[in-house]
Amino acid sequence: MNRAQKYLINGAVLSVSAMIIRAISVSFNVYLTSKIGAEGMGLITLIMSVYGFFITLATSGINLAVVRLISSAHGDTPDKNSHTSTGKIMKNAMSYALIFSITASLLLLISARNIGLLLLKDKRTVLPLKILAFTLPLIAISSIINGYFCGVRRVYKNVVAQFAEQGIKIASVSALLLVFSKDAEGGCIAVILGG
């Protein structure tokens, strides 16, 4: 199989899986809305808009950098030195990601109260933002691993991981919704902890 065919197949796999995962996500959001109501979904939307900014800060383009560096190191005909350079690339990427993600995590943790009260104007968003601060280093590391598998042209592993992630998220959120109260704040905490 030549290089163009690999790109085409990998692109098709990513596109189809992204559409399926998006459909699952939309269906799950319908279920969540019925469980926590429009007010709870509104809170989640507010929280996730802030969280998205901090994810951008935490990952800082590391996924694309790892894809580019790993694919360059492996090329069409990888040699024995490509494994050494891969290890060095991954080590440097992990260091970079941990610095940015821990900084973003601390920034979100410290500013969660001010963001919740002054920017979002809802005290119910403070605790979920603080909980989400602890996930930023994990997301950065996940972004590096995702970039590695794309760089070595093994996107099917990313697809399997994304489907497993969705399944675990749906199961854990559903279970936590049974534990937490049915009000908007309890629903937000259940969704965030489950995610």
Confidence band, pLDDT 50/70/90 cuts, at residue 173: confident
Provide the pLDDT for residue 152. 80
- pLDDT score of 16: 86
Confidence bin at 67 (pLDDT 50/70/90) = confident
36-58 pLDDT, tens digit per residue, is 888 888 888 899 999 999 999 99
- The reported pTM is 0.80
Give rounded-to-5 percent helix, strand, coil for the chain: 90, 0, 10
Buried b (16+ CB within 10 A) or exposed e, 166-190: eeebbeebeebbeebeeebbbbbbb
Residue 77 has pLDDT above 60, yes or no: no
* Residue 82 structure tokens: 């490509």
Cβ contact 72:126 at 8 Å: no
Q: How confident is the model at residue 81 (pLDDT cuts 50, 70, 90)?
A: low
If you ran DSSP here, which 8-state letter would residue 123 be given?
G
Picking from 51, 14, 40, 27, the residue whose alpha carbon sits closest to that of residue 154 is: 14
Residue recorded with tokens 């802030």:
50
Per cent of the chain over pLDDT 90 is 32
- Is a pLDDT exceeding 90 seen at residue 118? yes
- With cut-offs at 50, 70 and 90, classify the pLDDT of residue 25: confident
* pLDDT at residue 181 is higher than 80: no
For range 85-94, the mean pLDDT: 89
